[in-house]
Amino acid sequence: MSTDRRAAVWIGVLYIVGTVGMVLSVVVTDAVLSGPAYLAQIAADPNRVAIGALLLLTAGLALALVPVVFWPIGKRYSETLAIGYVVFRGALEAVVYIAGVLCWLLLIALSKQPGAGAAAEFVRTTETVIWDQVGVFPFVLGALMFYVLLYQHRLVPRWLSVWALVGAALYVVSPLGSMFGHSLGFFMAPLALQEMVMAVWLIARGFNTVPTPRRELETSPSRAGLPAIAAGS
């Protein structure tokens, strides 16, 4: 298996691990963190929130590794887009996930303190703003850089890249709507589905091999130690 093929498989696996971890974290914690009595519910069952925090941290680390694994491939085609992808969907998105985990762990600690309702409400509000409004923008910017690069150089089928670009444009509608008091989370669905389809595609097929000037130079006869044949000789 070539290095690029191995990287494609890892990227697909990391996408799936990240998505599954994120979904499971919501499933595990939803019954405890929902409703007005969430602080009492956390105090009665803190382990659920702790498990959810670990799942969320796993998801965040898995997704943050995707740009790192893609970097050696992406930089051959566009170092600007590849490094932007690392910054936004690697570093900044990882910070968002860590902040979310920290909020949940703080709620566990506050649930044990009498009279901590105001502090807990501040943490919950902060968490909501991070997830529903602020944290989405690094994700969308990183996704746009990644899929523009894939589209320009045909590293995956064009229909898959176009689906992602449209999905990323729709994705940003949700946080904008949340800022004005509207619940528009369903706009996130197209990109979420696309990433799972692409994950399966990368595991099964890998990236398309597209020549780059650097790669052509490295594999030319003269660089390979073979005599170059002059045209017409």
In single-letter form, the type of residue at position 225 comes to: G
pLDDT in tens, 65-94: 999 999 999 999 999 999 999 999 999 999
pLDDT at 211 over 70: no
Radius of gyration for the chain, computed over Cα atoms and rounded to the nearest angstrom: 22
Enumerate residues 6+ apart whose C-beta is below 8 A from 177: 183, 184, 187
The helix/strand/coil state of 78 is coil
- The confidence score (pLDDT) of residue 212 equals 58
- The confidence score (pLDDT) of residue 16 equals 97
Q: What angle do CA 81, 84, 87 make, to 5 degrees?
A: 155
Compute the mean pLDDT over every residue in the chain, rounded to the nearest whole number: 89
Q: Which two tokens stand for residue 116?
A: 């901590």
pLDDT class for 213, splitting at 50, 70, 90? low
Q: What angle do CA 77, 81, 83 make, to 5 degrees?
A: 105
Choice between 83 and 114, residue whose per-residue pLDDT is larger? 83
Other CB atoms within a 10 A radius of the CB of residue 45 amount to 14
- The confidence score (pLDDT) of residue 227 equals 46
In single-letter form, the type of residue at position 87 comes to: V
